[in-house]
Structure 1
Amino acid sequence: MPAAAMPDDPSQAQHSRRRAAFFDRDGVLNEDVGFAHRPDQIIWMPGAREAVKRLNDAGFLVFVVTNQAGVARGLYSEEHVRTLHRWMQQELRAVRAHVDAFYHCPHHPEHGQPPYRADCACRKPEPGMLLQAMAEWPVERKGSFLIGDRDTDLQAAQRAGIDATLYRGGDLDAVVAGILARSMRGSEKR
C-alpha cells in the first residue's frame, strides 16, 4: 500500500469531483540527483512551482506520486521522505501554491528487507498510488493527467485510466499551460 502524506483536507471528498494533476517528483518537479531525501538536494525544475500554482488556480487537485526505492535500499527512512515533502510544501506555499497530497512507494522487488522488499501494487508502473489518491479524493478521471519523466510513469497513468505526458525537461509551467490549453480546446469542441 502506498504511503500518503499531508492531505490538506480529506473531507473534501464530500465535495464535487475535480480534475487532478499527478506529478512524478524526481526528474519532473525537481532535478533527479539520485535518491534525494534532504532539502539541500532539491533543485526545482524551471517553472515547477509556477506549474503547481497554475493548476491550483485552475481548480485542479494536485498530487505527487513518487517511487522511493531508497527506503527499501536502506539509504533513508520514510520519515525522511515525509520531512522532505513537508519542506517542499512550505516552498510551494511561499508562491501561494500547494500539493493536495504526496504519495510515495517505499518498496522495491529486489532490494532491502521485508516489508520494503516486496512486489507491490504501488510501485510505478503499477497504478496503486494514483488509485489511492482517486479513492481518497474526489477525482474526476476525465481531464485528469500525469506528468512523468519515465515510461513507468506513463504506464501507471494508463493503468489508472488517465492521460499522461512525458516530460523531457524545460519549463514545466509551459508544459502544463499547453496541456490546459489543449484540454480547453477539446472541451469547446463538444
Structure 2
Amino acid sequence: MKRKAVFLDRDGVINVDHGYVYRPEDFEFIDGVFDTCRHFHQLGYLLIVVTNQSGIARGMYTEQDFQALSHWMQKRFAEEGAPIAHVYHCPHHPKFGTEAERGCQCRKPMPGMIQAAIADYDLDPEQCAMVGDKRGDMEAATAAGLGRKFLVTSGQSLSPADRNTADGVWQSLKEAHQAICD
C-alpha cells in the first residue's frame, strides 16, 4: 500500500524567511508549525522537506552548515512529536557552478526532489500535498503529480498568477492544515 506525505518548503513555511539561514541561532520557527505538523503525523502523513538552498552554490555557507542545521531542525521536530522523514535540498543555482549543476532537475520549479521522495518512500502522489510560499513550489508539485498544492503568504504578497497555481492560499501552515486534512 502506497503512503501519503505532506511536502513542506522550508524558508517561509517552517521558519521565517530571513534569507540564507544556516545557523540555529538565526532560525525562527513560524508560529503553530509544530502543532500543525504533529497533527499531520498523527493522521499518517510523512513530513518531507524540499528546499532550494542556493546559498551553498553562492558560497554563503557550506553543505556541512546546511546539514548541521537540518539535523538540529529534525531533532526539534522529533522532540515535538512531529518527526520529519527526510530533508531533500537543492544546493544549486542557475548562475553558479558547472553546467550540469546550473541545469539540475532538483531545483524547484523542477520536480526532482519530490520525485526522489516519491520513489524513496513509495508514495502515492495523489494522496500527497505540497505547502510552499512561492510559485515554483506549486509548479514542482504539479510536475510531480501531487494531489494538492497550497501556498502560504507568510507575510509576503503573491500575484494573482502565483495564487492561481495553488488549490488554496493561506496566511500560514497553521491555517492551511484543515484544507490539507480534508
TM-score bin, normalised by smaller chain: 0.7 to 0.9
Structure 1 position 82 matched with structure 2 position 67? yes
Paired AA for residue 144 in structure 1: C
Partner Cα distance (2:153, 2:76) in 1: 23
Partner Cα distance (1:57, 1:115) in 2: 43
Question: How far 1:173 sits from its partner (Å)?
Answer: 2.5
Q: Would you identify which runs of 4 or more consecutive aligned residues in structure 1 move more than 6 Å?
A: none
Q: Residue 38 of structure 2: SS of its match in structure 1?
A: helix
Q: Residue 51 of structure 2: SS of its match in structure 1?
A: strand
Question: How far 1:174 sits from its partner (Å)?
Answer: 3.0
Q: Residue 34 of structure 2: SS of its match in structure 1?
A: helix
Partner Cα distance (1:134, 1:68) in 2: 20
Give the equivalent residue in structure 2 for 1:128.
Answer: 112
Structure 1 position 114 matched with structure 2 position 115? no
Q: Work out the number of aligned pairs and report it.
A: 165
Give the equivalent residue in structure 2 for 1:175.
Answer: 176
Judge conservation of contact 2:53–2:91 (CA < 8 Å) in 1. yes
Structure 1 position 68 matched with structure 2 position 53? yes
Partner Cα distance (2:70, 2:121) in 1: 19
Partner Cα distance (1:153, 1:33) in 2: 18
Give the equivalent residue in structure 2 for 1:159.
Answer: 143
Partner Cα distance (1:47, 1:107) in 2: 30
Paired AA for residue 174 in structure 2: D
Judge conservation of contact 2:22–2:66 (CA < 8 Å) in 1. yes
Paired AA for residue 13 in structure 2: V
Partner Cα distance (1:153, 1:122) in 2: 12
Q: CA RMSD in A?
A: 1.5
Question: How far 1:177 sits from its partner (Å)?
Answer: 2.2
Judge conservation of contact 1:72–1:116 (CA < 8 Å) in 2. no
Partner Cα distance (2:84, 2:101) in 1: 28
Question: How far 1:55 sits from its partner (Å)?
Answer: 1.0
Partner Cα distance (2:29, 2:68) in 1: 17
Matches within 5 A, 1:137-156: 137-156=121-140
What does the per-residue CA deviation read over 1:114-145, in whole Å, with 9 as the maximum and x for residues that have no partner?
38852100000000000000111121112211
Q: TM-score, normalised by structure 1?
A: 0.82
Paired AA for residue 177 in structure 2: V
Question: How far 1:61 sits from its partner (Å)?
Answer: 1.2
Q: Choose between structure 1 and 2 for higher RCO, CA contacts under 8 A separated by at least 6 residues.
A: 1
Q: TM-score, normalised by structure 2?
A: 0.86
Give the equivalent residue in structure 2 for 1:26.
Answer: 11
Partner Cα distance (2:126, 2:40) in 1: 16
Structure 1 position 104 matched with structure 2 position 89? yes
